[in-house]
Amino acid sequence: MRTIRLVFSPDADDLFMFWPLLSGKVEAPGLSFVHERVETEALNARAEGGDPPDVCAVSIAHVPAIGDRYLLLPHGASVGRGYGPIVVARSPRTLASLAGARVAIPGARTTAHLALRLLVLEQTGRLYEPVPIPITPFARVFEALAAGEVEAALLIHEGRLTYKDDPSLHAVVELGEAWHASTGLPLPLGGNVIRRDLGLETITAVSSACRASIAWSLAHRDEVLDAIVASGLRAEANVDRARLDRYLAMYANDDSATLRDDVARAIAVLVERGRAAGLLDQGSVELAP
């Protein structure tokens, strides 16, 4: 029996995709899984650290930086099709007005940060001043906005839905919409990577198990949704069942089941634009079997 170390975020779509595998709904002969949940930017750091997990959820923008040790699994992606992370502020403003502004970001390696920098740069030729504010505790970024520590905030995960609870917050830009207007493509946000040194046989077996877990969740959506709600794991995010249902419809769907051709093109465009702007280092994005 080979033990596979799996690390992913507390985010609802990650929980949705891996729940069948971890709860025994899906069999993985010859494999056992141990898991850990950490926030998105910490996941990116773990993947490039000294003791990298076997399978790790990461930001797509970070995959080239770890391409020497990881392959991108061809399933498990979170994709924004005309929607995605959102920038909010306490007064109405434009995307162009973010140039030079202090903007809260969920992490320097996140896809949302890269995409927003590219969009602001495209419009203004300038960048904003990033202020990293971790996703947890959930309320911290909203407190920073209220206190005037930042002029705007880039929200990912469930925060892109719950910000509407505060009538003083105004949407500045919906990244998925702006990205599609600029590229004609969806915005690939997150994915799962697997260590190259596991070897082809193990990589294939783990990939198959993860694919089966995602398929099981999609086929038994209500059961998994109920399990996530009952677990209370997203209680801090103030997400009820209806919002969780909406969130999963956005980020745990057919795009999670398999990497579509337009998503693969979108990854290539994201990396190409990031490199051309001097915002990404060289590195590979190679798919696992």
Q: In which region does residue 84 sit, left (phi positive, over 0), alpha (psi from -120 to 50) or beta (all else)?
A: left
Average pLDDT, the chain: 93
CA-wise closest residue to 156 among 63, 84, 98, 255: 84
Helix ranges restricted to H, the chain:
12-22, 40-47, 111-124, 140-146, 159-162, 175-183, 200-219, 221-231, 241-251, 254-257, 261-276
Q: Which of 159, 183, 207 is the last residue of a domain?
A: 183
235 and 111 within one domain:
no
At CB < 8 A and 24+ separation, what contacts does 198-202 make? 198/54, 200/289, 202/2, 202/4
- Range of lowest pLDDT (23-27, 72-76, 197-201, 237-241): 237-241
Lowest mean pLDDT among 48-52, 125-129, 178-182: 48-52
**DSSP letter at 202?**
H
> Which of 183, 217, 233 delimits the end of a domain?
183
Kindly list the catalytic residues. 157
Flag whether 288 is in a domain. Answer: no
Q: How many domains does the chain have?
A: 2
pLDDT, one tens digit per residue, over 139-154 is 899 999 999 999 999 9
Length of the chain: 289
Among 183, 205, 240, residue at a domain's last position: 183
Mean pLDDT of 16-33: 94
Note whether residue 286 is domain-resident: no
Region 116-130: what's the mean pLDDT? 98
Q: Are residues 139 and 101 in the same domain?
A: yes
Identify how many contiguous H helices and E strands the chain contains and give both numbers.
Answer: 11, 11
Give the other-Cβ count within 10 Å of 168's Cβ. Answer: 10
* Tens-digit pLDDT profile for residues 189-205: 999 999 999 999 999 99
Between the CA of residue 238 and those of 85, 115, 119, 156, 161, what are the distances in Å? 17, 26, 30, 14, 10
Q: Which two tokens stand for residue 52?
A: 């990298």
Residue whose C-alpha is closest to residue 103's, from 44, 56, 145 = 145
pTM (two decimals):
0.94
Domain extent, residue 116, equals 86-183
Task: Tell which residue, 76, 16, 72, has the closest CA to residue 47.
Answer: 72
